[in-house]
Structure 1
Amino acid sequence: MISTLSLKVLQRMHDRTVAGMVAEVAAKSVGDRTVRNWLSKSTTPDPVVLEQIRLQGLEILRENLKNKDWPGAERDAYVAGLDATPGFVSGMAFSLQSACDQYPATVHLAGQMDLLEQAVAIHRQAGDVRSAAQAVLDVEWLRDEHLAIPQDGISADEMRLQLREAVSWDGLDVPGRVLVLNLQFQLLATLDFEFCAAHFPGLEPTPVFASLLPRFNLRVRPGRKDLGSEDARYLPLPYSAAPGRDRLFACSL
């Protein structure tokens, strides 16, 4: 769930589907249709094939950096750093750098997001709602800000209570949406800060997100026909279906 939005951003950045990009890297192993089946969970990928794709991707990256005249030591460090990332979000964050350790806070946060998603996914696959909720509650680095949207009257205490009392996946729906939304915006804000610090060191940091962001109502469902004037101020979730998404990313990225 956490990586879904990052996948959409990646596709927008390259104007290609994830299946197409993976298939290009894995041309010697699988085709586009096979990758699409993996993503839709129609079939399960062979771990051996996944390892082959990983190695092929790293070799392609190494060759690209060599063609760009990267020194051998820097090239090896960059490839090793990317290979060490724990998941998709951190891998994507790492690849935004033009050198190792250019955006350390962004890569670190993305890695934490990957590990959280993986921990919850294990319990989701086992159908264990309580353990999935507890996995979120046990994360030490999550703060009240991750579980609250004050302007909409959604408090961290309310979300924690819902997590503690959830006995179905529907019971985790709103807390999950709040958490994922706040994590995505924290990731964008962290990247914005480190990018500007690296490329515009002479400018004074100024927060602009409050001026760019629409307000979200986590309780509004896409496709509702009975939205009143009060609801019209909000965009519905899930975020992937929200109007204006592309404009927001154009401003944020």
Structure 2
Amino acid sequence: MMLEAHELTRLAGRRTLLDGVSLDVRAGEFLAVVGPNGSGKSSLLSILSGLRTPDRGHVCLEGAPLASLSRRQAAQRIALVQQQAETEQHMTAWDAVALGRTPHLSLLRPFGPTDAKAVDAALDVVDMGAMRARQWQTLSGGERQRLHVARALAQEPDIIILDEPTNHLDIQHQLELLALMRRLPKTIVAALHDLNHAMTFADRVAVLQQGRLEGLGAPADVLTARRIAKVFKVEARLIPDGAARPLIAFGVSAPAAG
């Protein structure tokens, strides 16, 4: 396993954000994390990335405690694209993506041609190469979101963790971004708002509800009408789509759970 989370608990005052969550992330897979607002998705991703530590439990990266790594060591292996990752600094799109090279740099290893090449390649992957000279403050929310993903790609990690990466993107760029994540030779963990995106692109889906793991497995096995009704409080119907995975159609309200 690339990542293993054991009994993760995260508290905020008297509120429990995560309650004993255990799961694994397999090498090369696309794991989608879904759940209602406040279910613990962002808390889980921040702990899996090493950005925050749990109040109880631990995370292992390829068998070694993630907490034993420095922030720089962890950042060389894991990139995090946060939901609200903004900057007030005046910089170009290229400079913003170049920040992804920081974990690889030191006094003895300054920014060089290899780093510039990684930045250029990351911009091209998210179709932002033509905007490399644009000032950050002049970019739209969707353009900034694509640059956040490019920054993670420039970091050249083994694992990319994304917190609702399709925010601010139009439908074309939502689908293109998720298809890209699916194709990358990386391990992907992404909190997704759209259950049909999880059904379509993920290898496995983890469902969170009130800080607890409600389900983990193949999308069609986990995103059942009954579980969607229980967790999201909406009526859902799965529509077969030939050889592809089913589509989810939603109603206004969920039937009473029996």
Shared fold by TM > 0.5? Answer: no
Identify the structure with the greater helix proportion.
1
TMscore range, shorter length:
0.3 to 0.5
Which structure is larger by alpha-carbon Rg, 1 or 2? Answer: 1
Could you say which structure has the greater relative contact order, defined with CA pairs below 8 angstroms and 6 or more residues apart?
A: 2
TM-score normalised by length of structure 2: 0.32
TM-score normalised by length of structure 1: 0.32
